[in-house]
Chains A and B, each alone.
Chain A
Amino acid sequence: MSVRILVVEDDERIRSSMRLALEGEGYDVDETESGEEALDHFAAQAADIALIDLMLPGMDGFECCRALRRQSAVPVIIVTARTDTHDVVAGLEAGADDYVTKPFVAKELGARIRALLRRARPAEDEPKTLTFGDLELLPDQGVLRRKDGEEIHCTRTEFRLLCELAANPNKVLSREQLLDRVWGYDYFGDGRLVDVHIRRLRTKVEPDPALPRHILTVRGMGYKLVP
C-alpha cells in the first residue's frame, strides 16, 4: 500500500520540487496551493500525512492545521521558514505533530515522514491495556477512553507519547528519551515538540490541566506519569 502525502504549499516551484523529491522516495503526492483547497481535497481523498506550509495566502497554515485536526487525526508536519520565532510552538499548538525548516533536505523530510508513520503502528510487545486514573489505553487499537466507555480523541503522536509514559508509570522519562522513542530524533531533537505535546495531552486527560495529577513535570529531568 503506497503512502499518500498531501502537500499544501503556495509556491508552485517548491511544490513541484517537493513532489519530485517525495515521489523519488516512493510516495504518492497530492499538491494543493491553499488551505481551503487542501481541506476540500482532504475531504474527497484522505491522505496518510499532510505537509503544510505556514505562510499561505488566505487561510494560513495554522488555521489549515487546526481545521484539518478538527476532522482527522492525520499526522501533520508543518513547513516553516523560521525556527526561532513562535511559529514552531504555535504550529505545534495548532495540532501539528512535527516540523521541518526551509530549506529542508528531502532525505530528512522522508525520515520524518517514516518516523511519523511508524509510530502510528505501535510495537507488538506492549501490553493490551494500560490504565491510569479513570482512563484506559488500548495501544494495539489506538484507543484512549474513559472507564465509562467515552472515547477521547487524540492524535497518533499524542497517543504514542501517552503510551510511552503509561508503559513506564512513576518513571521519569527525559525529553531526549521521549524524542527518541516517539519521534525518532537523536540528542539534538527539539524539546519543544515534547513540551507542546505534553501540554496538549494534559488538556485532554487531566481534570485540571493547570494542576496536573497524572502527567507530571520533573524539573531538570523530564516527565513522568503517575497513575
Chain B
Amino acid sequence: MAEGAEDDDPQARPAGQGRLWTRLGLRGRVALLFGLGALVLSVTMGGLSYFSARHFLLADQENGARTEAYAHAQTLDADLAPGTASPGTIAGYVDGVAQGVQSDSVLIYQGSTYDSSFQLGLGDIPASLRVLLRTGTPGTQNFTLDNAPQVAVGVPIPAEHAVYYEVFDVSDLARTLHILALALAAGGLITTVLGFALGRAASARSLRPLAGVSQAAVLVAGGQLDTRLPDASDDPDLKGLTTSFNQMVDRVRDRIEAEARFSSDVSHELRSPLTTLGASMEVLEAHADELSPRARQALVLLSQDLRRFQRMVADLLEISRTDTGSVELALEEVDAGELVRRSVAASSRLVAGEAMASQPGTLDGPAVGPEVRIDPSLAGIRLLVDKRRFERIMANLLENATFYGGGATAVSADRGPNRPDGRPTVQIAVDDHGPGVAPAERSRIFARFYRGQASGRRGAGTGTGLGLALVAEHVRLHDGRVWVEEAPEGGARFVIELPVAAHRPVAESGDVP
C-alpha cells in the first residue's frame, strides 16, 4: 500500500500543478489573461489618478487652510495689539475672526484659552502640534475628530505671546476622495470584466478554425484518411496550419498505404517460397521411410521449423493487417456453446498435432482435448463472430497452455456480467495447470514477442511469440476483452469476454443469412 502510494505520488504531483491551468482550456486561459491584463491596467491607472488627485486636493486644502489661518492670526494680532482687551472682548474677537469659514478657532493668550465653539477645545488639537507650537514654529497637521477628518493649523503670534489654532473640517474632501475611489474601483472592475469578455470572444473567434482542425483530426484518427481541411490560402494566419495539416494527413495516408502495400507484398513474396517449401516437404515426408534414420531425423527438424515459420509468417501478416486496419471480419451470428465446442475440438487437433510433432515418436498418439464445460444458461445465446478468427483465438490460447502451462485442463463458457450499457456478455475461460502468470506479467504477456519466464527457450515446443498478441487483437476486433487470472486449481486462467449478439448483422448485399 505504502509502496503503491510512493509509486503514484511523483507522477501525480507534477501533473497536478499544471492541471487547473490546463483544465481552463485555451479559451479560458486567454480570457483569464485578458482579464488579468485589464485588471492590472485599471488598478495602475486608477491608483495613479486617485493618488495624484488626492495629493493635489489635500495640498490645495492645506494651503487654503494655512492661508486662512495666517490671515485670521494676523487679524487677531492686530486686534490684540493695543493690549487692552478684556477676556470677553477677546472671546468676541476669536468668535468673529473666522466668521463665514467652516472652521473652529482656538486662541491661547495670556495663559487663557479662548475657543470659538463648544465642539472643539484645546484638548482636541493633536499634542504633537501643540509641542511644535510651544517652540514657536508654525505647523499643520491632519487628524480625525469624531471620525471626521480635520486639518489643524497652528500659528504663533510672537508679538502678543499668543498661539492661534484653527481647525478645518475636511469631511467634504474626504467624501469626494471616497467617491472618486469608488468610481475608479467600479471602472476597474468593469474594465476587468470587459477584458475577460473580450479575451473570451477574441479567443473563441480566433480558435474557431482550431475546432475545424480538431474535428478533422478526430476523423483522421478514426481512420478517415481522406479528411482534409478546407483551403485557406487567402488567410495568412491559417494558411500555414491548414497546409501543414493537410500535408501531414497526406503523408500519414501514404505511410499507411505503403505499409499496407508492404504487408501485402510481403504476403506474396513470403508465401510463394513457403508454398514451395511446404509442398516439397510433404513429398519428402511421404517418402520418409526411404530415407536413412539420420536423414529422417533431419527431415523431422526441417518440417517442425517450417511449420513454425509458416505459422509465424501467418501470424505476422495477421498482426500487420490489424495494424493497418485492413482486417475484414467475416462476422456471423452463431450459437455460443456450439462455437466454443467446435473451436476447442478443431484447435485441440491442431495443437496436439504440433505439440506431438515436437516430440518425435509420439506422432500417432490420440488427440486429447481439454474438458469443455458449457453452462446451461448459454442455451440459445448467440455471438457475432468471425468463426475462423475465433478458432485462432482458441487455438492460440490452447497452444499457449500447452507450451507454457503444461496443457489446458478445462475450457468453460458461462454468462458474464452485463456491460455498463446493459449488453449481456459471455465469458470463455481456458485453464491450465502450469505455474500461472505473475500479477506483474499479466498485462505484458499480451505484448508481441513477450516471452517472460520462457525467454531463452526457442525449441520446437514454443510458439511464435505472437500468439497472445493476436488473441488480444482479435478479441479487441470482436469488441471483447481478454485477461489472465489465477485458475481455481492454481495455474493460469485466460478469460475472453465477448458481448452477446445484439441484433443480426445487416449485410451490404442483403442476401447473406
Contacts and interface: CB of A to CB of B under 8 A. Distances in A.
A104 B278 CA distance: 7
Interface in B250-276: 264, 267-268, 271-276
A81 B276 CA distance: 13
Interface string A167-209: 0000000110000000000111011100100110010000000
Nearest to B392: A188
Given A14-B272, A105-B278, A222-B513, A191 B283 contact: no
B181 to A, nearest CB: 78
B342 interface: yes
A81 B279 contact: no
Contact of A106 (B279, B342, B388): B279
Interface residues of B, number: 36
Given A11-B272, A14-B279, A82 B388 contact: no
B392 to A, nearest CB: 10
Given A13-B276, A106-B278, A24 B264 contact: no
B513 A175 contact: yes
A195 B504 contact: no
A158 B48 CA distance: 97
Nearest to B333: A220
B128 to A, nearest CB: 99
Given A17-B276, A102-B271, A199-B511, A191 B282 contact: no
Interface stretch (B323-331, B354-362, B414-422): B323-331
B283 A84 contact: no
Which of B333, B388, B391 has the most A CB atoms < 10 Å from its CB? B388
B268 A195 contact: no
A83 to B, nearest CB: 9
The residue among B333, B391, B504, B512 with the most chain A CB atoms within 10 A of its own CB is B512
A159 interface: no
Contacts of B272: 11, 13-14, 81, 102
| B interface: dominant SS | helix
Interface in B145-176: none
B366 to A, nearest CB: 19
B264 to A, nearest CB: 7
User: What range describes how many residues of A lie at the interface?
Assistant: 35 or more
B315 to A, nearest CB: 13
Given A11-B272, A221-B513, A223-B513, A21 B346 contact: no
B264 A14 contact: no
Given A84-B326, A186-B346, A188-B342, A55 B275 contact: no
B18 to A, nearest CB: 45
A222 B332 CA distance: 11
A82 B267 contact: yes
A14 B268 CA distance: 12
- Indicate the member of A81, A106, A191 with the most B CB atoms within 10 Å: A81
Given A218-B513, A223-B513, A84 B278 contact: no
A152 interface: no
B287 to A, nearest CB: 8
B197 interface: no
Given A82-B267, A186-B346, A191-B332, A220 B279 contact: no
Interface in B384-402: 387-388, 391
B310 interface: yes
Interface in A91-139: 102-107
A220 B513 contact: yes
A192 B283 CA distance: 31
A187 B391 CA distance: 10
B277 interface: yes
A175 B513 CA distance: 8
B280 interface: yes
Interface of A: 11, 13-14, 16-18, 20-21, 24, 55, 81-82, 84-85, 102-107, 174-175, 186-188, 190-192, 195, 198-199, 202, 212, 217-223
Given A175-B513, A223-B513, 17 more contacts: A11-B272, A17-B276, A17-B280, A17-B283, A20-B283, A85-B264, A103-B271, A103-B275, A103-B277, A104-B279, A106-B278, A175-B332, A186-B342, A217-B512, A219-B513, A220-B333, A221-B513
19 contacts: A11-B272, A13-B276, A14-B275, A17-B276, A18-B275, A21-B283, A81-B267, A81-B272, A82-B267, A84-B327, A103-B278, A188-B342, A195-B511, A198-B511, A199-B509, A217-B513, A219-B513, A220-B504, A220-B513
Q: 10 tightest CB-CB pairs across the interface, nearest first?
A: A17-B279, A103-B274, A102-B271, A103-B275, A21-B279, A187-B342, A17-B276, A13-B276, A106-B282, A17-B280
